[in-house]
Structure 1
Amino acid sequence: MYGMIIRVTYYWDDQMGPFRAAPAGIERRDGPALAIRAIGGTLQRMGPIETVPARNWIAAALDSGRQAVAAGRDRPGLSGELVYGILDFCHQAVRDREDLPEWTPEAESRNAACVEAIAFAQRCVRGDE
């Protein structure tokens, strides 16, 4: 038993591996705007957040972010790596909301919302979103 190596694989890692080197392009494009779009799109796919104070706080934060981006006041230096991480967190939020019986690549690949969350992240990294 000792010395045994167990490899844990996640659907995100399997599907996003080829995109791992792409975040530098995100940084040069529109990282802050992309992060705002990714979070907003994820919230739309997830449906309403039940906790009103949390829902209001998130809505206000997104509105503030959208205003900053529109006015050119978005935070400079938001790295592509950070935006990639935000996309991963968006995927995790969708996966959590789907209440899968297990977190395996097989279970996620059979769930339409998880598959779409990955496809959305891939489109974002490619610049198609």
Structure 2
Amino acid sequence: MYLWKQEMQSYRDRLQSIPPSERLALAVSVMEWTLAEMGPLRPGVVSEYIASSMQTAHEAVESDAEKLTISDEMLDSRNDVDDQADEAGTTHIMSAILACADAPGGLSGEVLYGVLCFCYEALRERFEDSGVGLEAEQRSDECVEAISFQKAKIVDILGVE
């Protein structure tokens, strides 16, 4: 997270200027990309929870929603599912999904910043093989690519770097 925070800090305040429904669309596209980069998840309750939540997220984006609404059943089962999330990166993805759903007034720029961080952390954890810290993250193709992707998505929406 050292590299991510260093690289993304300058975008933090600008996220609030993105309209709420576009913030949700950005969050969902980054989560989707992150999941694709992570590769297949082990079959089971965790992957089913994530897949179901992402389906709901896509439906929210298609309807121009400003936040993700997850069923009470899904929210209630989150802790039990998280207890089984021993596969690298899955807890962070679940946290990103929950952050999108826990936004009473719509997905704020600050919450979006957290979602992007969770997505980065999911990939960092999943591919962590060269140690921990700033230098290790700089050597990680996955970490560098995640930051580049997130920046490009933000720039596409804002129209400026």
Shorter-chain TM-score bucket reads 0.7 to 0.9
Report the residue type matching 1:67 in the other structure. E
* Matched letter for residue 50 of structure 2: I
Of 112, 117, 128 in structure 2, the residue corresponding to residue 99 of structure 1 is: 128
CA RMSD of aligned residues (A): 2.1
Q: Given the two structures, how large is their TM-score scaled by the length of structure 2?
A: 0.67
User: Matched residues, percent identical?
Assistant: 33
Of 112, 125, 143, which aligns to 1:114? 143
What 5-or-longer segments of structure 1 have no aligned partner? Answer: 1-8
Give 3-state SS (helix, strand or coil) of 2:13's partner: coil
Q: Which residue of 2 aligns with 1:81?
A: 110
Select the structure of larger CA radius of gyration: 1
C-alpha distance in structure 1 between counterparts of 2:64 and 2:11, whole Å: 27
Alignment partner of 2:40 out of 24, 48, 68: 48
| More helix per residue | 2
| Aligned 8 A contact 1:10 1:105 in 2 | yes
Map of 1:69 onto structure 2: 61
> Which residue does the alignment assign to 2:26?
34
TM-score normalised over the length of structure 1: 0.82
In the other structure, the counterpart of 2:12 is 20
Superimposed CA distance per residue, residues 50-88 of structure 1 (whole angstroms, 9 cap, x where no aligned partner): 252111111111111111221234426210111111011
Q: Which amino acid aligns with 2:25?
A: A
Q: How many residues align?
A: 121
Identify the residue that residue 90 of structure 1 maps to in structure 2: 119
| Relative contact order, higher structure (CA 8 A, sep 6+) | 1
CA contact 1:42–1:94 (8 Å) conserved in 2 = yes
2:23–2:112 Cα contact (<8 Å) kept: yes
